[in-house]
Amino acid sequence: MQAPLFHAERDEAGWILRLDRGRGNSLTLEGLRQLEDFFVDQGPGAAPVRIRHTGAPFCTGLDLDEVVALDRARMGEFMRAFHDALRACFAYPGPVVAEIAGHALAGGALLALACDRRILVADSGRIGVHGIHLGIAYPQVAVELVRHQLSRPEAERALFTGSWLEGAEARSAGWVDGLVPRGELEARGEREIEVLLQAGPKAFSAAKLAARRPTLRRLEVVDPDGAESWLDQWFSVETRERVCRALRRVDRPSPRPRQRKE
């Protein structure tokens, strides 16, 4: 039986979701369903959520060991669960803050983008999406989250080149909202919740829904043509070879961070 993706605990400030399944906190079908259930089950009076993690990475994306073994129908089911989990986080009425002290890559970066604020420990890891390096474009939910949270030029650079960023460059590009020393991460996350709720939880929820309504409407239904096109790419010979090579590597090399132009 798989370890759960996260454990939820409640304190005076709200919920803490601690990603702690090991294996880079990678996303499994069971974990994605667990994540969706948590955000949906809280209801309209949703308490604040801080997403923390155990181990070095925040989340390294989809569990490749699991998904590489899936046939087309099961992979379609997996990607629907991925869509539903990220949409549930993005639509959550209460504030959600990601406290990141390590790599947030691919699906892990998208989980962070589904949150309201992202705080990164300086020099702790990289953040970004890189599916393009496997020879596939991004699924609908990824495109919508990237376009909603990032500027148009940065969104296109992410979607077209799969660059990973770190530190001050990730902050400047809008991937994260703050950089902190490691010992200050949790206190900064709690402070972000206070700032978001300074006008009250009802006002925050109403404002969040108004700002996200157009994107949420587009995510209400998975585009069937887009989903089939993505699966065609995933099951192409080229992509399967690239995924298998990635699984064989012990230390997966990453694209160089973009160099800021002077």
Please provide residue 122's backbone torsions phi and psi, each rounded to the nearest 5 degrees.
Answer: -55, 135
Q: Per CATH, is 6-196 categorized as 3.30.420.40?
A: no
What is the residue extent of each domain of the chain?
6-196
Using one digit for the tens of pLDDT, what is the confidence trace for 107-146? Answer: 999 999 999 999 999 989 999 999 899 889 999 999 999 9
Describe the strand order of the beta sheet including 126-128 as a list of residue ranges.
104-105, 126-128, 165-166
> Rounded to an integer, what distance in angstroms lies between the CA atom of residue 38 and that of residue 40?
6
* CA dihedral over 177, 150, 81, 247, signed as positive or negative: negative
- pLDDT for 1 equals 64
Residues 6+ apart with CB under 8 A from 240: 68
Spans in the chain with pLDDT lower than 70: 1, 43-44, 249-262
Integer CA distances (angstroms), 70 to 67, 81, 175, 231, in order: 5, 14, 31, 11
- Show the tokens assigned to 50: 């801080």
Q: At what angle do helices 72-91 and 29-41 cross, to 10 degrees?
A: 30
- pLDDT for 252 equals 46
